[in-house]
Chain A
């Protein structure tokens, strides 16, 4: 996509060799997140963190592989249902539920990816949308998911048998840890030789193929990785809210994650986090007004596409002349 072509190619790095400005941004993020629950309603923060992870995973696909998936809600939702089912019906401890949910999302991602990778650009987007809609209808009618009611009263349990997740503060820091894990994993992926090949494929696929890279395989791996991490976000979210419902597999959720990433900045490292925070906050603020949420989201889409394509962090990065 046009905006990401402006960014310099990210060189392979590790966390230790992160460029200074990104290190600073990362530190700010961690400190702010660690202190936040004392100032802001922790359940809201946990929601924002889960969505931030979701948006980062989505950004991996669109920002770095150049593939717009319009059906990412499928992975968020399926992982949520799986995790909720494991925790409630099988009585599994939270770490098992989350891993199970994440893994299932990866499998679904693989299946959908295999079908969708065959096409590109807009076709790809429409196919992911349609297949995700299939997942939605399956979840709507399946007995396991509880249909319109969802899976309710999901127990949070004891993490590793030690941490009581019913305590909001404990739960918060666990969620924060999961988010940071996912974030760093994505960072590492982007700034690795794999990430470089992905960028090359995005820039000029025929050339990358002529150099011997199996483009479809790389794209598929990126797709599955993105789906799996989205699943991690969904599985965690189910335990936070103790509820898995159809909202998480509905196409409007797919649209929301696109919005978060677009607003924050496609192809930036911190953009999705900021975008998720803003969109979640906006929804919370507008929740009393019901249908206005949709209008505001639509307006943000339109404004961003027409005049603000780099997103918040993208513009910030341009001002500072350093990629964020």
Chain B
């Protein structure tokens, strides 16, 4: 572990970026939901899992492949999210925000438990889409095409989302609605509907990450359970309200974790939390966040 040739290091960096792409996409959804709606969506991990399962079902039952799944999963799971928001989250808005956290935690337990009962925990296979098999020999490592696709696709999704929220009119309505819903409603904008759709969008992002994960990780009911806590840490570090913060932090953390796996693999699980603790000591609002 001492003398790492530069090639191996570059390979690990690339792997780190790929993992970072997942962190970024997931924390993006969480940041959108929290930043704009002040809801902690503990169900995010379960919704990520649902996305992967929709992809699996689409293939098994309807013969619809990966490209269809990329469209179908976010829509279906997003709809599930919308139903969840309308029926269960809405009544809780007047109460302490912690109740929202507890509710979404409970829903996560239910969804994960039901799927575990039905499908066991060892995971279901999902074939890689034919167009993305194979890879490139980069000299310092062999990069599977699919992994390259993951980085590119995540970047596109993350940057588009950031652009929509920070630079378009729709995004500005959304941001205004969270600061002063009454005033925005008075202007004739249907605030409750915006909130519902935004939640649905955040959930759809989680499901999209799930579809991305299906070909390379096992599709299993607990795939989101431990991941969600890491994603929380990413959002805290990035700054709880900040979209760009989550994206940057997600990728950066993936790289840091990758490097740790090389130099000190025992700590690779905890390095994210150590960084979170350090950031909290120095900048409690997160790297890009503002004090709320």
Name A's B-contacting residues (CB within 8 A): 1-2, 68, 70, 115, 118-119, 121-123, 125-127, 129-131, 133-134, 137-138, 140-141, 251, 255, 258, 262, 290-302, 304-306, 309
Number of CB contacts from chain A to chain B under 8 A: 123
**A184, B88: Cα distance in complex, Å:** 38
Could you tell me if A291 and B117 are in contact, using CB atoms closer than 8 angstroms?
yes
Name B's A-contacting residues (CB within 8 A): 34, 40, 88, 91-92, 95-99, 101-103, 105-114, 116-117, 229, 232-233, 235-236, 240, 266, 269-270, 273-274, 276-277, 280-281, 284
Chain A residues with CB under 8 Å of B95's CB are 1-2
19 of the cross-chain contacts (CB-CB < 8 Å) are A2-B99, A68-B101, A115-B281, A118-B280, A123-B240, A125-B98, A127-B236, A129-B229, A134-B273, A137-B270, A258-B105, A262-B102, A291-B116, A291-B117, A294-B112, A294-B113, A299-B110, A302-B106, A304-B102
Could you tell me if A298 and B108 are in contact, using CB atoms closer than 8 angstroms?
yes
**A121, B117: Cα distance in complex, Å:** 34
Would you give the shortest CB distance from A86 to chain B, in whole angstroms? 25
Q: Which single residue of chain B is at the shortest CB-CB distance from A116?
A: B280
Could you tell me if A300 and B40 are in contact, using CB atoms closer than 8 angstroms?
no
Could you tell me if B233 and A305 are in contact, using CB atoms closer than 8 angstroms?
no
Interface centre among A115, A122, A138, A140 (most CB of B within 10 A): A122
Cross-interface CB contact of B284 among A68, A119, A294, A302, cutoff 8 Å: A119
Chain A residues with CB under 8 Å of B109's CB are 255, 294-295, 297-298, 301
Q: Which single residue of chain A is at the shortest CB-CB distance from B34?
A: A122
Could you tell me if A295 and B114 are in contact, using CB atoms closer than 8 angstroms?
yes
Interface centre among A258, A296, A298, A306 (most CB of B within 10 A): A298
Chain B residues with CB under 8 Å of A68's CB are 98, 101
Could you tell me if B113 and A291 are in contact, using CB atoms closer than 8 angstroms?
yes
Q: Which single residue of chain A is at the shortest CB-CB distance from B97?
A: A122
Chain B residues with CB under 8 Å of A2's CB are 95-96, 99
Chain A residues with CB under 8 Å of B92's CB are 305-306
* Smallest CB-CB A-B distances: 10 pairs: A301-B106, A298-B109, A294-B113, A295-B113, A298-B110, A134-B273, A137-B269, A291-B116, A302-B106, A130-B233
Could you tell me if B232 and A305 are in contact, using CB atoms closer than 8 angstroms?
no
Would you give the shortest CB distance from B49 to chain A, in whole angstroms? 13
Could you tell me if B98 and A295 are in contact, using CB atoms closer than 8 angstroms?
no
Could you tell me if B102 and A118 are in contact, using CB atoms closer than 8 angstroms?
no
Chain A residues with CB under 8 Å of B110's CB are 294-295, 298-299, 302
Chain A residues with CB under 8 Å of B103's CB are 301-302, 305-306
Chain B residues with CB under 8 Å of A118's CB are 280, 284
Q: Which single residue of chain B is at the shortest CB-CB distance from A138?
A: B270
Could you tell me if A131 and B98 are in contact, using CB atoms closer than 8 angstroms?
no
Could you tell me if B232 and A126 are in contact, using CB atoms closer than 8 angstroms?
yes
Could you list 8 further interchain pairs (A-B, Cβ under 8 angstroms) beyond the known A2-B99, A127-B276?
Answer: A2-B95, A125-B101, A127-B236, A127-B280, A258-B102, A297-B106, A305-B99, A305-B102
Could you tell me if A1 and B96 are in contact, using CB atoms closer than 8 angstroms?
yes
Chain B residues with CB under 8 Å of A251's CB are 229
Chain B residues with CB under 8 Å of A123's CB are 236, 240
Interface centre among B98, B111, B280 (most CB of A within 10 A): B98
Q: Which single residue of chain A is at the shortest CB-CB distance from B108?
A: A298
Chain B residues with CB under 8 Å of A140's CB are 269
Chain B residues with CB under 8 Å of A137's CB are 269-270, 273
Would you give the shortest CB distance from A122 to chain B, in whole angstroms? 5
Chain A residues with CB under 8 Å of B40's CB are 122, 125-126
**A293, B276: Cα distance in complex, Å:** 32
Q: Which single residue of chain B is at the shortest CB-CB distance from A255?
A: B105
Cross-interface CB contact of B236 among A70, A130, A255, cutoff 8 Å: A130
Would you give the shortest CB distance from B282 to chain A, in whole angstroms? 11
Q: Which single residue of chain B is at the shortest CB-CB distance from A289?
A: B117
**A178, B101: Cα distance in complex, Å:** 33
